[in-house]
C-alpha cells in the first residue's frame, strides 16, 4: 500500500510539473499589443493594415496579441491604453499614426522595459525636438513614391479625362500622397502620350479621417463635375468615397477610386468580383509591423533608429496584381517602378515637379 501511495504521489508530482511547464510555456509567449488611432480596427486603412501585420506575425510565431481602442484621440486617452496593455503584460506595442508622437515620447521613458513601434511618427515632447530612445523605433514611408506609382498607373489606364484627390487631414503623409500622385500623372502625360487633367478644385482635404458621409458627398460632387477617378487618401472619409463610387458603378456609371495604404480592391467590390478600385497606393504597413516583431524575436530590435520604407526596399508601391489595369499598363508600371528603385526617377516629397 505504501508503494502504491508513493507511486501515486510521484505521478501527481510529475503531472503537476508538466502542467506548470506547459503553463510557463504559454506565459512565455511574446505578447504584442496595439493601440488604435482615430477610426476602427477595420477602417480599411491604417489601423487595419497595422493590425493585419501583427496578426500575420502571430500566426507565424505563435504570439499573444491584443488591441485596445481609446475612447478619444488625446494624449491622455492613448497613454491610458498603453498603460492598460503594459499592466496586462503586453510589453511590445505598435502604435499607428503621428498622433502618438508625444504619447510615445512619454511612454518610452515611463516604461523602459517595454518596446514601442511608432509608425508614421517620431517621439517628441510637443516641440518636434525628436528623441527616439533605445526601446523605440520610428518608421516612415515614402508616400510620394507610392502616390507617384498610383498616378502613373491611373493615367496610363484612363489615357484621357479628369481625376481628383480627396485627403483626410492635411498632414505630411497625406500631402505626400497628393504630391506624388500629381507627379505620376504629369510623368505619364509628358512621356506616355496621356492627357489626364487634375484641376485644383478637385484637390480637397476634408479635415478628418472619420467622416464617412462627408467623403461620400465630396466624391459625389467630383463625379458630378466629370471626374472619372478619385485618389482617396482619407481613412474613413475614403470609405465614404468608395461607397459613392460603388453606388454609381452599380447604376452603370464608369467611375473609379484609387485606394490607399493597403490593397483596397476587395473593399470596392460591388457586383460579383467587380470592384471600383482601379489600383491602390500602398504603404507596406503590415510588413513594417511584422518586420519589427520578427526583429524583436531575433534579438535585433532596431531601437533608437528612424527607418524609411520606400521603393528601394519594397516598402511602398501598387499591388502586384491589379485586375482593373490592362496588362500593358501593369508592364509599364513595373518598368517605371524599377526606374524608381534604381534612382533614375526621383519623386519630390514637396509640392512640385520631379527632381529628375
Instruction: Give the CATH number, domain containing residue 133.
Output: 3.40.50.2300
62 and 113 housed in the same domain: yes
192 and 269 housed in the same domain: yes
Give the domain extent around 86.
Answer: 30-141+287-296+302-309
pLDDT digits (tens, 9 = 90+) for 283-317: 999 999 999 999 999 999 999 999 999 999 999 99
Residue 4's pLDDT band, with cuts at 50, 70 and 90, is: low
CA-to-CA distance for 232 and 229, rounded, in angstroms? Answer: 9
Quick one: average pLDDT of 137-154?
98
| 88 has pLDDT over 70 | yes
| 7 has pLDDT over 60 | no
Residue 122 forms part of a structural domain: yes
Rg (CA), the chain: 24
109 and 178 housed in the same domain: no
121 and 187 housed in the same domain: no
Contact call for residues 93 and 66 (beta carbons, < 8 A): no
Residue 107's pLDDT band, with cuts at 50, 70 and 90, is: very high
**Percentage above 90 pLDDT, the chain:** 83
Residue 155's pLDDT band, with cuts at 50, 70 and 90, is: very high
Residue with cell string 468608395: 242
147 and 256 housed in the same domain: yes
Residue 2's pLDDT band, with cuts at 50, 70 and 90, is: low
Residue 147 forms part of a structural domain: yes
232 and 156 housed in the same domain: yes
Residue 352's pLDDT band, with cuts at 50, 70 and 90, is: confident
108 and 166 housed in the same domain: no
Output the pLDDT for position 43: 74
Residue 1 forms part of a structural domain: no
| 20 has pLDDT over 50 | no
Residue 315 forms part of a structural domain: no
Least-confidence region, from 40-49, 69-78, 153-162: 40-49
164 and 219 housed in the same domain: yes
Cell of 108: 518610452
Output the pLDDT for position 237: 95
Residue 351 forms part of a structural domain: no
Helices marked H in the chain: 2-27, 46-61, 75-87, 101-110, 143-158, 172-191, 212-224, 236-250, 285-297, 327-342
Residue 257 forms part of a structural domain: yes
Residue 38's pLDDT band, with cuts at 50, 70 and 90, is: confident
| 6 has pLDDT over 70 | no
Write out the DSSP string of 214-267.
HHHHHHHHHHHTTEEEEEEE-THHHHHHHHHHHHHHHTT---EEEEEES--GGG
53 and 118 housed in the same domain: yes
How buried is residue 47: exposed, middle or buried, by Cβ count under 10 Å (0-12/13-18/19+)?
buried
User: Would you tell me how many other CB atoms lie within 10 Å of the CB of residue 26?
Assistant: 10
CA-to-CA distance for 184 and 259, rounded, in angstroms? Answer: 15
Cell of 286: 503590415
Residue 3's pLDDT band, with cuts at 50, 70 and 90, is: low
122 and 224 housed in the same domain: no
* 325 closest CA partner among 283, 284, 265: 265
CA-to-CA distance for 66 and 51, rounded, in angstroms? Answer: 9
| 11 has pLDDT over 50 | no
174 and 252 housed in the same domain: yes
* 94 closest CA partner among 57, 61, 127, 124: 57
CA-to-CA distance for 254 and 189, rounded, in angstroms? Answer: 22
Cell of 125: 515632447
Contact call for residues 147 and 231 (beta carbons, < 8 A): yes
Residue 179 forms part of a structural domain: yes
Q: What is the enclosing helix (H) or strand (E) of 322?
A: none
Structural domain count of the chain: 2
pLDDT digits (tens, 9 = 90+) for 248-286: 999 999 999 999 988 999 999 999 999 999 999 999 999
46 and 81 housed in the same domain: yes
Residue 24 forms part of a structural domain: no
Amino acid at each position: 500500500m505504501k508503494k502504491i501511495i508513493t507511486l501515486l504521489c510521484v505521478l501527481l508530482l510529475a503531472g503537476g510539473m508538466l502542467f506548470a511547464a506547459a503553463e510557463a510555456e504559454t506565459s512565455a509567449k511574446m505578447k504584442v499589443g496595439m493601440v488604435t488611432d482615430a477610426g476602427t480596427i477595420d477602417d480599411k486603412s491604417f489601423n487595419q493594415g497595422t493590425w493585419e501585420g501583427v496578426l500575420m506575425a502571430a500566426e507565424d510565431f505563435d504570439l499573444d496579441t491584443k488591441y485596445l481602442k481609446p475612447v478619444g484621440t488625446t494624449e491622455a486617452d492613448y497613454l491610458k491604453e498603453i498603460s492598460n496593455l503594459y499592466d496586462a503584460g503586453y510589453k511590445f506595442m505598435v502604435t499607428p499614426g503621428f498622433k502618438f508622437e508625444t504619447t510615445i515620447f512619454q511612454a518610452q521613458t515611463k516604461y523602459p522595459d517595454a518596446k514601442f513601434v511608432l509608425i508614421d511618427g517620431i517621439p517628441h515632447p510637443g516641440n518636434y525636438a525628436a528623441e527616439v530612445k533605445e526601446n523605440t523605433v520610428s518608421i516612415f514611408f515614402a508616400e510620394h513614391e507610392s502616390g507617384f506609382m498610383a498616378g502613373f498607373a491611373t493615367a496610363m489606364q484612363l489615357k484621357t479625362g479628369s481625376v481628383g484627390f480627396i485627403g483626410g487631414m492635411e498632414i505630411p503623409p497625406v500631402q505626400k500622397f497628393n504630391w506624388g500622385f500629381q507627379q505620376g500623372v504629369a510623368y505619364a502625360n509628358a512621356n506616355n502620350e496621356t492627357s489626364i487633367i487634375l484641376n485644383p478644385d478637385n484637390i480637397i482635404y476634408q479635415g478628418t479621417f472619420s467622416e464617412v458621409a462627408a467623403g461620400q458627398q465630396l466624391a459625389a460632387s467630383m463625379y458630378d463635375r466629370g471626374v472619372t477617378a478619385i485618389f482617396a487618401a482619407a481613412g474613413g472619409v475614403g470609405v465614404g468615397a468608395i461607397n459613392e463610387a460603388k453606388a454609381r458603378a452599380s447604376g452603370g456609371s464608369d467611375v473609379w477610386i484609387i485606394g490607399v495604404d493597403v490593397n483596397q480592391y476587395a473593399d470596392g467590390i460591388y457586383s460579383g468580383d467587380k470592384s471600383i478600385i482601379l489600383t491602390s497606393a500602398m504603404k507596406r504597413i503590415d510588413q513594417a509591423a511584422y518586420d519589427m516583431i520578427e526583429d524583436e524575436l531575433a534579438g535585433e530590435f532596431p531601437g533608437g533608429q528612424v527607418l524609411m520604407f520606400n521603393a528601394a526596399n519594397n516598402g511602398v508601391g501598387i499591388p502586384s496584381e491589379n485586375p482593373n489595369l490592362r496588362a500593358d499598363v501593369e508592364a509599364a508600371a513595373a518598368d517605371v517602378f524599377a526606374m524608381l528603385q534604381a534612382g533614375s526617377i526621383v519623386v519630390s516629397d514637396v509640392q512640385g515637379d520631379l527632381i529628375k
